[in-house]
Structure 1
Amino acid sequence: MLAKLFLIAHLLQYTFSQQTLSGKSLVNHVNTIQTLWKAEYFEISEEEMKFKVMDSKFAFPEVQISSEPYNSLPGSLSRAPTSFDARDYWPNCKSIKMIRDQAYCGSCWAFGAAEVISDRICIQSNGTDQPIISPEDILTCCTNSHGCQGGFVLESMKFWKSKGVVTGRDFQGDGCIPYSYGSCSDCHTAQTTPKCKNECQVKYTKNEYKEDKYYGSSAYRLSTSNAVRTIQSEILRNGPVEATYQVYEDFYYYKSGVYEYISGRHMGGHAVKIIGWGVEENVNYWLIANSWGTGFGENGFFKMRRGNNECGIENYVVAGMNSSDYLIIDEILLFYYCLE
């Protein structure tokens, strides 16, 4: 119920004049009335915008309650560091630095999951195992979701636990099942969901499909009570998390700075990977990896305002564990972070 009320409130918050702003006029409006973030215009149609997000119902699913609710970790920090970047804290995990490209398919929910799973396997193995997990395996074979129309992020984590996930990079890449679609600069229709495969691509000879599977030990949604501190604690101890939020037209033109909704039509829901946080110009933000290629934002990454549940970013956050044990982090280094 709260999720529905939040969505209704957001849909009603902007005026008719704001809704009608589009394209260059929208970008000019954003850059004129505030300095928190910069927008940059490029040609993209409303249809193309909608191809890159999923149906809003997948962003805040009311019936999605984890069977393994989040429990406060032993020794949870009473104070979080001012800034944290998983890329710096776990520098040997190459997947944390990667930006992937979902193309014109609403597969963000599967990409976010594949990215988080890749990162956590690396982190929890102390860098000895660094698979790049296939978003297509999740996209096509997770039966409780709807492919390129969208999917439930918690279901993607449950799929990792119950069915396992194979490796696979982006379009024409390495691994068992790489992504079927490449970056599309001249597409005018949405991509359809590929069929679920149970065998690896021919050139992949490392493993058979079943032997290539990685399994999680748990899947859970984080509590929304004291959401910011809960998300921070989870990232600090176990690695990046997957979050959903509502996307508005101005977000597509984000170039730099700390994003907050200014103006434009509501376009749909989206899922991304949160890898850290910080402060810029006295504004708290989340540090986030998008899956729209490196041409978006700050080389594929962006910052979103933290602490006010901007566009619902703190409302529905999920994760899972590769190991049954919580990661034991370097407490001395973490203490140093907290003192900064």
Structure 2
Amino acid sequence: MLAKLFLIAHLLQYTFSQQTLSGKSLVNHVNTIQTLWKAEYFEISEEEMKFKVMDSKFAFPEEQISSEPYNSLPGSLSRAPTSFDARDYWPNCKSIKMIRDQAYCGSCWAFGAAEVISDRICIQSNGTDQPIISPEDILTCCTNSHGCQGGFVLESMKFWKSKGVVTVGDFQGDGCIPYSYGSCSDCHTAQTTPKCKNECQVKYTKNEYKEDKYYGSSAYRLSTSNAVRTIQSEILRNGPVEATYQVYEDFYYYKSGVYEYISGRHMGGHAVKIIGWGVEENVNYWLIANSWGTGFGENGFFKMRRGNNECGIENYVVAGMNSSDYLIIDEILLFYYCLE
């Protein structure tokens, strides 16, 4: 009930006129009334928009709100750098730079998890282990979620801890379980959830399914108390995190700049990977990797306003650890990044 009330209140703050603008009129409106970000029009139907997101309830899962409380890391940072980009801080971890494509399946929750897990395994192994984790293994075999309809992001982290996750190579890739769907530039229908396979594809001979598994040691939700600093501290110490938020029509047309909701209908919930933050034109932002391919936004990445819980982005953030020990970061590099 709490999650439903939160969503209703979130939606009611926007006027009827904001929600009824659409298509080219919406893009023109966005570009006319503000300069914080730029929109670019392309042909996409409302139905196709909804294929790329999940049910809103998964962005605010009521039954998860009080579970797995976040325990502050030892030596939490008293200050954070003005800007931070995980791609630069851990340059040897190729997964941080990758942009994937979920196609017309609401599998963002599984993609965000697979990306965060890939990054953290690399970071916590100091770059010696760099698997690209399979989102489809999570999407199809995490029984506490709903496949292409959406899923709870904390459940995806719990799945990593309890069941383990295997490798991938994206669509038709060389890993254990590649993603079943390619880019959907020519698709016009929603894709259905594939079946849980529990075995690697035939051409993958490195490991059997069970031997290919990577396991996490913890899964947790970050506290919403002092959310910005908590998220920053977690990313600095352990790597990217997964976050959920509500998606509106104007977001699909995002091309560059710092996104904030301007106008358009509510489309659903979404999950993404936050890799850093910064300031642009005196506006604080989160630096985020989307899973809609490199054609979206800034080569697949985007910036979202930070500090005001834009579209709920700071409300439900999760992560997990590959090792039982917290990452020992390079204190000299951290000092450099924390200088303002």
Shorter-chain TM-score category?
over 0.9
Following superposition, the deviation at residue 259 of structure 1 comes to 0.2
| Cα contact 2:165–2:214 (8 A) shared by 1 | yes
Whole-Å separation in 2 of the counterparts to 1:238 and 1:34 = 36
Could you say which residue in structure 1 is the equivalent of 2:288? 288
Q: Is the 8 A contact 2:258 2:302 kept in 1?
A: yes
Please give the TM-score of this superposition, normalised by the length of structure 2. 0.98
- Shift in Å, 1:185: 1.5
Stretches (4+) displaced over 6 A: none
Q: Matched residue of 2:118: which SS?
A: helix
CA deviation profile, 1:228-263 (whole Å, cap 9, x unmatched)? 000000000000000000000000000000000000
Q: TM-score, normalised by structure 1?
A: 0.98
Q: CA deviation at 1:198?
A: 1.1
Higher mean C-alpha deviation, range 119-128 or range 1-10: 1-10
2:3 and 2:57 in contact (8 A); partners too: no
Shift of residue 6, structure 1, vs aligned partner:
3.2
Report the Cα distance in structure 1 between the residues aligned to 2:195 and 2:303, rounded to whole angstroms: 34
Q: Tell me by how many angstroms 1:118 deviates.
A: 0.1
After alignment, is 178-187 or 125-134 more displaced? 178-187
Q: Distance in 2 between matches of 1:221 and 1:299?
A: 29
Between the aligned partners of 2:96 and 2:275, the Cα distance in structure 1 is 8
1:130-156 Cα offsets, whole Å, 9 max, x none, are 000000000000000000000000000
Looking at structure 2, the residues matched to 335 and 106 of structure 1 have their Cα atoms a distance apart, in angstroms, of 40
Paired residue total:
340
Identify the range of structure 1 (91-100 vs 186-195) with the bigger mean alpha-carbon deviation. 186-195
Determine if contact 1:109/1:270 at 8 Å carries over to the other structure: yes
Q: CA deviation at 1:66?
A: 6.4
> 1:251 and 1:119 mapped to 2: Cα distance?
26
Deviation string, structure 1 residues 255-292 (Cα, Å, up to 9, x no partner)? 00000000000000000000000000000000000000
CA shift for structure 1 position 67 = 4.8
Cα deviation, residue 90, structure 1: 0.3
Deviations 1:18-44 (A, max 9, x none): 222100000000000000000000000
On the 8 A contact 2:85/2:276 being kept in 1, the answer is yes
CA contact (8 A) 1:68 1:218 kept: no
Kept in 1: contact 2:4–2:57 (CA 8 A): no
Q: What is the deviation of 1:195?
A: 0.2
**What root-mean-square deviation, in Å, do the aligned CA atoms of Structure 1 and Structure 2 show?**
1.0
Give the gaps of 5 or more residues in structure 2.
Answer: none
Once residues 72 and 199 of structure 1 are traced to their aligned partners in structure 2, the CA distance between those partners, rounded to angstroms, is: 38
Say if 1:289 and 1:302, in contact at 8 Å, map to a contact too: yes
Determine if contact 1:66/1:220 at 8 Å carries over to the other structure.
no
Ranges in structure 1 where 5+ consecutive residues have no aligned partner: none
| Residues 86 and 240, structure 1, Cα contact 8 Å, conserved in 2 | yes
Find the residue that maps to 1:130 and give its secondary structure: coil
